[in-house]
Every structure is written in structure tokens, then in C-alpha cells.
Amino acid sequence: MIKLSFTHRFEPATVPGSRPLLLLHGTGGDENDLLPLGRAVAPGAALLSPRGPVLENGMPRFFRRLAEGVFDEADLRRRAQDLAAFVAEARETYGIAAPVALGFSNGANIAAALLLLHPGVLAGAALLRPMMPLAEPPVADLAGTPVLMLSGVADPIVPAENAARLATTLGRAGADVAHDILPAGHGLSQADVAAVQAWMARTLAGRGA
């Protein structure tokens, strides 16, 4: 494994011109968690999967929280900057294009923060069960950036209003947002896999390296 600023896994592309994925796990996951999902939704794409550097009761995360649904925004901003720097390192090291993030829960939230705080780092994002990461997000230019948000109608963690506010914020910044509400809770389902597969095929065609 090549040593970069984040512990990570990297799988090279086997389909030339495919857009690489940045896989961002949920609380308690690691760099291996989303590799099967990445392979399923974007066969042949390069996969870059870092491990969250923050521990909460021994469980990796990408940034600190003060309570469930209450984020340490100062830490979030610093960790988003660190993740943006890691993506730049990885792009140079592995020779890949700007990736599309595929994030679940905490990983979706750091991906949303990357979009808002560091426009241009990501070529797009599929956000699975995301929340609004920032109380007062900056004005970002996300013109034309494709974003898929998948929320669960019975999600006990993410309030519907919160997810809707994130979709509105990204849309106002110019992102091309598709926000779907699935018959699910906070966990992922086969419907998520199918929705991301369809979005990747439809939205990212012609956006490869």
C-alpha cells in the first residue's frame, strides 16, 4: 500500500476512461467497507477508499460530533480540508481524474462538506443518507456538478427537513441535484444500489478521465 496522508485502499481502473470513485464509509466502517458497493455501481472504475481518521469509542469517522446529529463544525471544516488534500495527493500518485464521491451516512456528510467548502475537488457525489453538514454553509459554485441524494422515508437519524435543506442548498449553488426518498431506514438496501447504478450510468456517461 502506498503511504499517503490517509490509510486507504486503491483499486486501479479496468475500464479506460471511467470516472474514479471516492468511497467514504459510515461510522464504524473502514477502507474496505464500500469496495463491494463501488464495484457494483461502477464496474471497472478506479476506487479510492480512505479510512476516517477520527475515532469515536473506537469507531472510525471522518470528523467529530458532539452528539448524534450535532456536528463539531470546526473539526468538520479542518477534516474536510485534510480530505481535499488527500484527494489531491491521490490524484497525483495514482494518475486519476477528479473523483465522484460515494458516501454513506458520516461519509456522505463529509462529501457534502467537501462540495460546499472545496468546490472542484469532486466531479460529483452520490450521498446516501446525508445530513446538512454546516449551519451556515459558504456560497459555493457547483455549476453543473451532478449530485444524487438518497434518503430513507423511515430514517430515525436524519430528519426529512434536514435532508431537504441540503438538497436545496446544493441546488442553489448550481449543482444538478436528484433527491430520491426510498422506502428504507438509515441502512442501505438493494434499492440504493439500483438507484446509484442507474444514476452513475445516466449522469456520468462521457465524464471520464
Report the pLDDT value the prediction gives residue 205, as an integer from 0 to 100: 61
Report the pLDDT value the prediction gives residue 70, as an integer from 0 to 100: 87
Lookup: cell for 62: 471522518
Counted residue by residue, the chain has a size of 209
User: What residues contact residue 75 under an 8 Å CB cut-off, 6+ apart?
Assistant: 54, 63, 64
Report the pLDDT value the prediction gives residue 69, as an integer from 0 to 100: 80
The residues annotated as belonging to the active site are 105, 155, 186
C-alpha dihedral, 123 to 203 to 46 to 98, nearest 10°: -10
**What is the DSSP secondary structure assignment for residue 59, as one 8-state letter?**
E
Q: What is the pLDDT of residues 111-142, one digit of tens each?
A: 999 999 999 999 999 999 999 999 999 999 99
Q: Residues of the chain whose pLDDT is less than 50?
A: 206, 209
- Alpha carbon distance, N-terminus to C-terminus of the chain: 23
Report the pLDDT value the prediction gives residue 136, as an integer from 0 to 100: 92
**Residue 84: how many other CB atoms lie within 10 Å:** 17
Report the pLDDT value the prediction gives residue 207, as an integer from 0 to 100: 53
Lookup: cell for 106: 458520516
Query: In order of start, what are the domains of the chain with their CATH numbers?
Result: 8-203 (3.40.50.1820)
Report the pLDDT value the prediction gives residue 4, as an integer from 0 to 100: 85
Strand partners, 49: 9
Report the pLDDT value the prediction gives residue 209, as an integer from 0 to 100: 45
